[in-house]
Amino acid sequence: MRPGVALRLAWRQARGGRRSLGAVFACVALGVGALVAVGTLGAGLEATLGREAKALLGGDLELRAARPLPPEAETAVDRFRREGARVVGVRELVGMARGEGAGGSVLVELKAPEAGYPLYGRLATTPAAPLASLLEGDGAVVQQELLDRLGVAPGDRIRLGEVTLTVRGVVEAEPDRTASLVSLGPRVFLAPDALTRSGLVTFGSRVRHRVLIGLPPGVAAGETRAALARALVDPGVRVATYDEAQPGLRRFFVQLTTYLGLVGLASLLVGGIGVAASVSAFVARQVPAIAALKALGAETPTLVAVFVIQTQAVALAASLVGAALGVAVQPLLAAALAGLVPFALEPQVQPATLARAVAMGLTVTLLCTWAPLAAVRAVPPWLILRRDVDPDARAAGGWLPLVPVGLGIAALVLWQAGSLKTAGIFLGASLAALLGLLALARGLVLVARRLPRARGLAWRHGLAALQRPGGHASRVVVALGVAVMLLVTIALLQSVLGRQIDHEQQRGAPSFFFLDVQPDQREPFARLVERAAGAPPALTPVVRARLAALGGERLTREMIDRRRARGEEGWWYFTREYVLTWAEELPAGNVLVRGRWWTAAEAAAGARVSVEEVAARHLGLDVGSRATFDVQGVPIEAEVTSIRRVDWQSLTTNFFVIFSPGALAGAPATWVATARVPAAAEPALQNAVVAAFPNVTAIPVRDVLERVGVVLGEIAVAVRLVALFTLGTGLVVLAGALAATRSQRLYESVVLRTLGATRGVVARGFAVEYGLLGAAAGLGGGALATALAWIVVRWVLDAPWSFDPAPLVLGVAVTIGLALMVGFLVTFRLLGQKPLPVLRRE
């Protein structure tokens, strides 16, 4: 083989294949574009999370607990302070804010930082002033949302529990407000002493105590953490360094970009179908030239090299354009996710991201041209003498040559997915989708063949055209079907989740959860709610506690750290704050899976607990085990007598741990209540409760569900944006397939017109064909989407399945419309051709 010859030939031969190579270009560019958009977003998230790590945590080091820090922690922190560290204590909790007078009330997230906050990052306020000065003398700095909802302005006063605060400013950006994706309400900053005087911090209230530490230069956070961990045996105090900040948030973004990346890879693989088809058509057209070149003495490897050079050159150009496209689209993706990201996302155009996507574009092109290029080998030189011989005898090798292609694609998927499990699921789903859609396309062609040939000419021609040699129906149905599958799956999941979080759909779901009802408020609270809602609230006693020991073995930090180091997911169950209750009867919606519920006599005999199934598994508890809970410093040991399954989807008060009655007697209990009122009566009830019991927190379920809905909506928009690349690629495959059959189509339409058919008749035949292709892709994709969504809902989200036909119908209709539109864009010019020149050419 002589490389110079191959290069020169490659250049010359490419002139004949503009249309085929154009489709290769578009397919690769779109696929690489999707990968680059997602990769750039992921790199941006990772870089920003890294750069903002200290601001996100609030310090180099954070201590966090559900209770005031134990004395040994205070001692350790004091030592750091003496050694030059900056230390800021912050308390956070939810509460109700009211306007002065008869105004409304709003659930807010309170934050009371000591002077010095924030240690890292910048708290942006309007007016711009140090936070401490704004909070001085019962000032408050709040988010705009609160002002809007209460109808107050800066300078006005709001009430929080027992204190009245003056709004001195609006908070625009808060560096460390990232605890969860969904906030319960707008932020309110207030001074620590104001919080103390509000009366909201009593026993039973959910206060998050944080101590933020800024270390002096030269002191390593990791070593300090290790020292603290040794000093603090109590695992209830979480110690984190900035570089492990927000593990939840980081994990969420990593997963999100992984899934988005796989959707992007799907569009590149769909593009691969187009690449294979276009290169195949290109090679088929070049068969006479290949035969001639072989007859003239060109060696087969040289000729194969010619086509590899051509396709790789096109793929390289396409990948570069695709990379530019991806960089250009990334801001859209970032904008879609803006609500989820607590900081400004800077696009990170990293050479590594680009190189990786370009490499994927080139590799997919190489893999997908493998089989078509085998045809170059098989062209016999004698073909130059006998052009009438059907060169279709070239199909070589059957399945065997596809094995390395499959392995190559599997390797690419593994590279993109980053984990064997995710890659396996993706490959399995892709293979199932591919086989399903292929079977459907094959079925469509078979039905078209078997169908009693009847009705109009247009139908007959449309159906007959589906059987055109070259199998364009299969690849169009697969390519478009995959795109439809992705888009309809998102729509179906959104619909299922939408129903799940649609308050109106939740039968018997409460309108409110009321927290922190104190023992002495119980009766007046119940009376007030009954007056307003027409029915008494359901009141459940709760006692806040921590797990202290299992089977007599005390829980220590060392033990938890060991589990975390082993990568166990359930360590959270050991350190979390438990909300305990007691009950005489098994609560509705709970099912016993092992053991049995206590009788009154058994309950009187000693402390027993019933533990939720999943928690029991992680904690290693079963019937007969013993667990000790620390209730405000008092250890209470109980025997596990039953394991329960809980329907967490039901919007009622559910508990991990339920004690037998009497076991928690004397423990400081508060009460949680649920109440249901018509939607229109919700604000009135909330305002009445908050006015009468300022310490009680009312969580409006509808409002929280709507906030969850907004977050899910933003994720769906991002996924859909990437999936649109797949749709674009699918349409390119359709256009490419139609372009490849262009000469056949032109010929047939011309013969028909010679026989007296009008353009209208020919166009209707086209319409039947394109419409059927679209319908098959739409139906197949829709069916796969339904299966996929069902699997995700059933096995991943563990939610009840409900089927919404609307996305499916819309998916089929839109696919038919798009297929018709693209089809006619590609072929409408055929209709205007004069027959004679076409017939002469044949």
Partner 1 sequence: MMIRVRDLVMRLPSGGRFVTILDGVSLAVTAGEVVAVTGPSGSGKSTLLGLIAGLDTPSAGSITVDGVEVTGLGETELARFRRRTIGFVFQSYHLIPTLTAAENVAVPLELAGTPEPLTAARRRLAEVGLAERGHHYPAQLSGGEQQRVAIARAVALAPPLLLADEPTGNLDSATGTQIIDLLLALNRERGSTLLLVTHDVALAGRAGRAIALRDGRVVNGHHA
Give contact residues for partner 1 (rule: CB under 8 A): 453, 456-457, 460-461, 464-465, 467-468, 744, 747-748, 751-761, 834-837, 839-840, 842
User: Where would I find the beta strands (DSSP E) of 688-840?
Assistant: 697-700
Nearer to partner 1, 102 or 454 (CB): 454
Q: Which two tokens stand for residue 383?
A: 């073909």
Establish whether the linkage from the previous residue to 678 is cis, with ω within 30° of 0: no
The nearest distance, CB 744 to partner 1, in angstroms, is 8
Task: Look up residue 377 and give its DSSP letter.
Answer: H
Question: Would you say 656 and 121 are in contact if contact means Cβ atoms under 8 Å apart?
Answer: no
Alpha-carbon distance of 630 to 547, in angstroms, equals: 6
CA distance between the termini of the chain: 36
The nearest distance, CB 469 to partner 1, in angstroms, is 8
The nearest distance, CB 263 to partner 1, in angstroms, is 37
Alpha-carbon distance of 705 to 414, in angstroms, equals: 36
Nearer to partner 1, 747 or 801 (CB): 747
Show Cβ contacts of residue 110 under 8 Å, excluding neighbours closer than 6 positions: 91, 92, 93, 94, 95, 160, 188, 190, 195, 200
Nearer to partner 1, 754 or 802 (CB): 754
Nearer to partner 1, 446 or 593 (CB): 446
Matching residue, tokens 């045809």? 375
Nearer to partner 1, 196 or 758 (CB): 758
The nearest distance, CB 437 to partner 1, in angstroms, is 23
Nearer to partner 1, 466 or 663 (CB): 466
Q: For residues 510-531, b (16+ Cβ closer than 10 Å) or e, as one string?
A: bbbbbbbbbeebbeebbebbee
Nearer to partner 1, 457 or 614 (CB): 457
Nearer to partner 1, 451 or 593 (CB): 451
The nearest distance, CB 289 to partner 1, in angstroms, is 20
Judged by DSSP in three states, 704 sits in helix
Neighbour tally for 680: CB within 10 Å = 7
Show Cβ contacts of residue 770 under 8 Å, excluding neighbours closer than 6 positions: 819, 820, 822, 823, 824
Nearer to partner 1, 392 or 622 (CB): 392
Nearer to partner 1, 332 or 839 (CB): 839
The nearest distance, CB 733 to partner 1, in angstroms, is 21
Nearer to partner 1, 218 or 756 (CB): 756
Question: Would you say 105 and 698 are in contact if contact means Cβ atoms under 8 Å apart?
Answer: yes
Nearer to partner 1, 448 or 793 (CB): 448
The nearest distance, CB 281 to partner 1, in angstroms, is 17
The nearest distance, CB 759 to partner 1, in angstroms, is 6
Closest to 815 measured CA to CA, from 460, 487, 447? 487
Alpha-carbon distance of 21 to 811, in angstroms, equals: 30
Distance of CA 661 to the CA centre of its chain: 43
The nearest distance, CB 250 to partner 1, in angstroms, is 57
Q: Which residues pair with 241 in a beta bridge?
A: 61
Alpha-carbon distance of 311 to 334, in angstroms, equals: 33
Backbone angles phi, psi at 781, to 5 degrees: -60, -40
Nearer to partner 1, 70 or 771 (CB): 771
SS (H, E, C) 558-618: HHHHHHHHCCCHHHHHHHCEEEEEECCCCCCCEEEEEECCCCHHHHHHCCEEEEEHHHHHH
Alpha-carbon distance of 228 to 574, in angstroms, equals: 19
Alpha-carbon distance of 523 to 517, in angstroms, equals: 10
Nearer to partner 1, 798 or 842 (CB): 842
Label residue 770 exposed, middle or buried (CB < 10 Å: 0-12, 13-18, 19+): buried
The nearest distance, CB 258 to partner 1, in angstroms, is 45
Dihedral sign of CA atoms 30, 260, 435, 819 in order = negative
Question: Would you say 97 and 150 are in contact if contact means Cβ atoms under 8 Å apart?
Answer: yes
The nearest distance, CB 754 to partner 1, in angstroms, is 6
Establish whether the linkage from the previous residue to 347 is cis, with ω within 30° of 0: no
**Beta pairing class for 657-659 and 577-582:** parallel
Nearer to partner 1, 591 or 839 (CB): 839
Q: Which two tokens stand for residue 130?
A: 């140090």
The nearest distance, CB 286 to partner 1, in angstroms, is 22
Show Cβ contacts of residue 471 under 8 Å, excluding neighbours closer than 6 positions: none
Q: Which two tokens stand for residue 569?
A: 């997911």
Question: Would you say 814 and 487 are in contact if contact means Cβ atoms under 8 Å apart?
Answer: no
The nearest distance, CB 840 to partner 1, in angstroms, is 7
3-state class percentages of the chain: helix first, strand second, coil last, to nearest 5: 60, 15, 25
Q: Which helix (H) or strand (E) holds 841?
A: helix 835-841
The nearest distance, CB 829 to partner 1, in angstroms, is 15
The nearest distance, CB 396 to partner 1, in angstroms, is 22
Nearer to partner 1, 430 or 474 (CB): 474
The nearest distance, CB 505 to partner 1, in angstroms, is 51
Nearer to partner 1, 566 or 840 (CB): 840
The nearest distance, CB 747 to partner 1, in angstroms, is 8
Nearer to partner 1, 457 or 550 (CB): 457
SS (H, E, C) 147-194: HHHHCCCCCCEEEECCEEEEEEEEEEECCCCCCCCCCCCCEEEECHHH
The size of the chain, in residues, is: 842
The nearest distance, CB 459 to partner 1, in angstroms, is 11
Q: Which two tokens stand for residue 498?
A: 């939408």
Question: Would you say 146 and 241 are in contact if contact means Cβ atoms under 8 Å apart?
Answer: no
